Amino acid sequence: MTLKWLVLWRHGQSDYNAAQRMQGQLDSQLTATGLDQARRAACSLAKLKPEVLIASDLSRAGDTAAALAAETGMPLLIDKRLRETHLGAWQGLTHAEVEMLCPGGILTWRANPECAPPGGETKVEVAGRAAHVVAELDAAGHSSAVLCTHGGLITGLTPLLLGVPVSGWPVFGGINNCHWTVLVRRGSDWQLFSYNTAAPL
């Protein structure tokens, strides 16, 4: 075990975020606001001097992470295992549209990490694939990393790494656009250093 700290960074505002649509693995783009958020966050995260920067292969994450790569000169790696939850039949819909399609479905899904949208993934599955990325960074000898990814993934991977029982995962609230979570290692265990942190205005 070599990783000492890990930053899980959510992408900036996308056009689907602005329209309040559930994007899942649809490849939405950053808005002008999202690009500005990414630049401001990059200035803060660059001070941590991470060794590795990896982004989801979805554009909103890659374009957010590119701001940190430009700020630091770091290479930007891409890993599709850091993609957002596949939302199946709900992708592209508003919450109201999902409620019409599946009454009570969103509340059930949010309350149970082992529940998936029709044709989609569970939070447990998403966290599991992302955990493989962290394990590989550990094995490769890196001491610090920034993963630029998605809100649903962060709210699953964080409690998984902390050893929280699945029943307790819903306690971890959502991550705002371009906010991040920092985990630090004490001995063999991960501890939560900060959650849903923002760059100063």
**5-197 has which CATH code?**
3.40.50.1240
Contact 199, 22 (CB under 8 A): no
Q: Residue ranges of the domains in the chain? A: 5-197
- Is 150 one of the catalytic residues? no
Can you tell me the distance from the alpha carbon of 15 to that of 108, in angstroms, rounded to the nearest whole number?
A: 26
163 is written with which tokens?
A: 């050893």
Burial 101-121 (b: 16+ CB within 10 A, else e): ebeebeeebeebbeebbeebb
pLDDT of residue 55: 98
For 90-117, how does the pLDDT look when each residue is reduced to its tens digit (9 = 90+)?
999 999 999 999 999 999 999 999 999 9
**Three-class SS of residue 15?**
helix
Amino acid at 161: L
Confidence band of 1 (pLDDT split at 50, 70, 90): low
Instruction: For residue 73, count CB atoms less than 10 angstroms from its CB and return exposed for 0-12, middle for 13-18, buried for 19 or more.
Output: exposed
Given the residues 71, 84, 150, 179, the one annotated as active site? 84
User: Residue 155 corresponds to which tokens in the numbers above?
Assistant: 């709210």
pLDDT at 200: 87
Predicted pLDDT of residue 201? 76
Residue-averaged pLDDT of the chain = 97
Backbone conformation region of residue 78, classed left if phi is above 0, alpha if psi is from -120 to 50, else beta:
beta
pLDDT single digits (tens) 8-53:
999 999 999 999 999 999 999 999 999 999 999 999 999 999 999 9
Active-site residue, from 11, 86, 150, 179: 11
Tell me, yes or no, if 84 is annotated catalytic: yes
Comparing C-alpha atoms, which of 150, 140, 139, 165 is closest to residue 8? 150
